Amino acid sequence: MAEVLANSVYAVALTGAGVSTESGIPDFRGPSGIWTRDPEAERRAYEVYDKFLRNPVEYWMESVKSPIRDAIERAEPNPSHYALAELEKMGILKCIITQNVDNLHQKSGSQNVIDFHGNVSKLRCLKCGRRYPRDMFDIPKILEEGKIPLCECKYPLKSDVVYFNEPIPQDVYTRSVEEVVKCDVMIVAGTSAVVYPAAQLPRIAKNKPLPASVVEINAEPTPLTVEGISDYFIQGKTGEVLPRIVEEVKKFLAKYK
Ligand code: NAD
């Protein structure tokens, strides 16, 4: 399978929560996922976007403290992230589209990363689309003054993270589809591939006039495996499989190129 990547012209990766579990950030639907253990948390997650739209002050009061965000901010990249960053440096991987909001691909050195579901380190305006680094705002102090973070256009800011029922920002969606249309190989790593429209991206890659080869790496089979969207399925931990793939690609390149 390494030769598929080594011979690729434009490889992209789609990653999910599974690539970050080895950094200590739990996924949602894996065997020890947040929602597998606490289904009520899934129900609450579906209410956040609506809360922001109805009452941004209440949204900010409830979200200013978040143990999950604290854990994400403390987390460090693991071998999965570093392997993908290395594939980019080697000129093979052209883009990572990640469903993760944890900023770990960027922390590991990857340059061309699309945060499909946003990024915890940013705030975003739903009206004009501007994004701001979260640390530009002293949010606890702003709330103490009875205010909330506002955009330059005066609209209330929310976290850049895309919540359930919230549309994917148009700029992000367009860029992602452009990358998928260009790719000849797609690595799909650590995602249950059930969250749409992200789960549509491998299907677009597979069903376009010049289909891409889809290389899936996951702890367990997914709908992509079952439906035959994946040309290769490597079962295992991404933190072990991805570095092995990088080594194999290097060996192949040293021998044949
Ligand atoms: P998911 O929880 O639905 O699925 C994760 C998949 O990865 C599961 O199939 C699981 O078995 C597998 N997995 C877990 N650890 C693995 C490992 N070490 N190696 C290989 N596979 C492993 O995650 P999803 O598909 O990304 O969808 C959940 C949504 O939740 C995403 O859209 C994302 O925005 C959000 N989320 C993000 C984070 C994060 O930023 N790190 C964490 C949890 C959830």
Q: Give one DSSP letter per residue of 190-220, joined into a string.
A: S--S-STTTTHHHHHHHHSSSPPEEEEEESS
Rounded Cα distance between 9 and 144, Å, is 53
Nearest to 96 by CA among 229, 161, 191: 191
Q: Which of 117, 122, 203, 206 is catalytic?
A: 117
CA of 22 to the centre of ligand 1 (A): 11
204, with CB counted inside 10 A (0-12, 13-18, 19+), is middle
Q: How far is CA 86 from the centre of its chain?
A: 18
CA of 141 to the centre of ligand 1 (A): 33
Nearest to 238 by CA among 80, 21, 109, 17: 80
Pocket of ligand 1 (CB under 6 A): 16-18, 20-22, 25, 27-30, 33, 99-102, 117, 190-192, 195, 218-220, 222, 237-239
224 in the Ramachandran plot: left (φ > 0), alpha (ψ -120 to 50) or beta?
alpha
Q: How far is CA 143 from the centre of its chain?
A: 29
Active site residue 105: no
CATH number listed for the domain at residues 2-256? 3.40.50.1220
Task: Give residue 18's pLDDT.
Answer: 96
Instruction: For ligand 1, atom 32, name the residue with the nearest CA.
Output: 99
Task: Give residue 30's pLDDT.
Answer: 74
Which one of 28, 115, 160 would you pick to mutate in the ligand 1 pocket, going by the greatest count of ligand atoms within 8 A of its CB? Answer: 28
Rounded Cα distance between 234 and 27, Å, is 19
CA of 155 to the centre of ligand 1 (A): 32
Q: Please list the pLDDT of the chain residue by residue as tens digits (257 residues).
A: 899 999 999 999 999 999 999 999 988 877 777 778 778 777 788 899 999 999 999 999 998 888 788 889 999 999 999 999 999 999 999 999 999 999 999 999 999 999 999 999 999 999 999 999 999 999 999 999 999 999 999 999 999 999 999 999 999 999 999 999 999 999 999 999 999 999 999 999 999 999 999 999 999 999 999 999 999 999 999 999 999 999 999 999 998 86
